[in-house]
Structure 1
Amino acid sequence: MSLLPTTSRVLHNLARFPSQMPDFELATWQLFNLCVAPRKVYRQVYYHKQTKNTWARDDPAVLMILTSTLCLAGILWGFDYSLGPLGTLRTVLVMVLRDCLLLGIVSATALWFISNSLLQAPASIHTTDQRVEWAYALDVHTNGFFPAMLELYFVQLLFKPVLVRHNWICLLLGNGLYLVAFGQYWYVTYLGYNALPFLQRTELLLFPVLVLVAFFMVSLLGFNCPRHFLSLYFGSI
């Protein structure tokens, strides 16, 4: 699945840390632009392929920043809900291992399979047979997850007292936040696969956005997303 070579390079770079520092400057630039101008990030993909012979990242800096940010989010939510040390640690582990890693593996595997099975351009268009690397699919998930994580784990925490109120304006704002977060995830994901020159019909990956918009419209009848999801996540609001 083209996973092991890229994974071994990432682990090799981690093993050499701090003797060879990960490129945090580039990682910070990428993560910032994923939030404000994600197309800029994917313009580098082809250049990276030509210089490193892989579509996927071989530097662990993005993963390190993402993990650190998730740990901070877990600590802040633990403090907000007065979970105590063990409860806060559990929240951190859930955010890192389940929300990011496990869901990332599921999403990457599903889209890796779909893109290689259904979205490949005819062989006559490209002189060499190319396939989506599984590690690249995981990178795409990471790219989409980061801005969504900032909105759901930090913006939602900051405005939680307002978003969970029982009035229609707060319902609109709270559900709109979820629409933007999940919509941004799928848009950034679409851009990631659209950047690969050997794929076609990648606009099909935007279909979940239509489902999200439909759900958002129905939810305005009275389903408050922040209240329901926080209740499921923490047992209370």
Structure 2
Amino acid sequence: MKYSTSPTPSQSNYPRSTSPLPAPANYQPTTASAAVKRYKYIRRLFKFNQMDFEFAAWQMVYLFVSPQKVFRNFNYRKHTKSQFARDDPAFLVLLSVWLFLSSICLGLAMGLTAGKVALFVLFVVFVDFIGAGILVSTFFWYVSNTYLRRDPDGPDVEWGYAFDVHINAFFPPLSLLHFFQIVFFENILFRDGFLSCLVSNTFWLASIIYYLYITFLGYSNLPMLQNARVFLLPLPILFLTYLATLVMGWNLSEMLVYFYMMRVLH
């Protein structure tokens, strides 16, 4: 007598990644509560040997050249690990190191003493990055869950994913404003005239466009949300503001440096 048996699962039933990014190391499908995920993430912050820094570095490159491919990989993570948010803090660690080094370079370019550079770095890391990042992520997390969900009773946006979107969007502006501007610091940015203002404010325009576009990509990537284009609404106002600063001769980079100087010197 023959007994019916369950069909052998086909490999085609399993999700496959279409992302051109290299596959993250050491992944395994898991389902866990938010508290467990948060605990594992924080614990891995102190285990560098378990972090995939190569994959995180590839993500940084793609955030500049093709950010949509980074979020395509977030979809793959949802299928394999049941969460959109990163479970590997390697990207956060690399970003923190990059922020630390670029802030030191900027502080030295500003002519600060060693003690003032250290104070400047502390302000940038703990106030501008961590403090402001938590506030911005929480605001977008609240807005997306309250106003953008297709089904109010359906799945909501993870706070960890909102934070991931923020740090993704934060990386290109950080590189443009804290690192690449140093190349033009003495020769162009702080000279009188229209060219200095144009170069400085164009850096700012590109940085904010990067931030808004990557934020839009991050939230439009979530199937439970709708009307994610709301994150692009500031673009026309941004461009008009950019033109106004050029007409008024307001050098935004010079204003930022003065703000930094006032903060560490007083």
Equivalent position to 2:142, from 113, 121, 144: 113
5+ residue gaps in structure 1?
none
The residue aligned with 1:230 is 257
Equivalent position to 2:84, from 52, 55, 62: 55
Q: Offset of 1:79 from its aligned partner? A: 1.9
The residue aligned with 1:72 is 101
User: Do the aligned partners of 1:6 and 1:56 also contact (CA within 8 Å) in 2?
Assistant: no
Please say which of residues 192-201 and 6-15 is displaced more in the overlay: 6-15
User: Do the aligned partners of 2:109 and 2:185 also contact (CA within 8 Å) in 1?
Assistant: no
Q: TM-score scaled to structure 1, two decimals?
A: 0.91
Matching residue's letter, 1:168: F
Q: List structure 1 runs of 4+ shifted beyond 3 angstroms.
A: 2-6
Identity of aligned residues (%): 35
Q: How many residues align?
A: 229
Q: Offset of 1:3 from its aligned partner? A: 5.6
Residue 76 of structure 1 aligns to a residue whose secondary structure is: helix
The residue aligned with 2:50 is 21
User: Do the aligned partners of 2:84 and 2:161 also contact (CA within 8 Å) in 1?
Assistant: yes
Distance in 2 separating the partners of 1:197 and 1:207 = 20
User: Do the aligned partners of 2:138 and 2:162 also contact (CA within 8 Å) in 1?
Assistant: yes
User: Do the aligned partners of 1:6 and 1:135 also contact (CA within 8 Å) in 2?
Assistant: no
Q: 1:132 to 1:92 in 2, by over 3 A?
A: same
Question: Which fold has the larger relative contact order, with Cα–Cα distance below 8 Å and residues 6 or more apart in sequence?
Answer: 1
Distance in 2 separating the partners of 1:3 and 1:83 = 43
Matching residue's letter, 1:35: F
Q: 1:5 to 1:190 in 2, by over 3 A?
A: farther
The residue aligned with 1:10 is 41
Larger fraction in helix: 1
Q: TM-score scaled to structure 2, two decimals?
A: 0.81
Equivalent position to 1:214, from 202, 226, 240: 240
Q: Kindly provide the CA deviation profile for residues 126-155 of structure 1, in whole angstroms up to 9, marking residues without a partner as x.
A: xx8211001110000000001110000001
Distance in 2 separating the partners of 1:3 and 1:164 = 48
Please say if 1:133 is aligned against 2:158. Answer: yes
Residue 111 of structure 2 aligns to a residue whose secondary structure is: coil
Residue 129 of structure 1 aligns to a residue whose secondary structure is: coil
Q: Offset of 1:9 from its aligned partner? A: 1.8
Q: Offset of 1:235 from its aligned partner? A: 3.8
Instruction: Spell out the pairing of 1:81-100 with structure 2 (5 A cutoff).
Output: 81-100=110-129
User: Do the aligned partners of 1:74 and 1:89 also contact (CA within 8 Å) in 2?
Assistant: no
5+ residue gaps in structure 2?
1-32
Distance in 2 separating the partners of 1:155 and 1:145 = 15
- The two structures, once aligned, show a CA RMSD in angstroms of 1.7
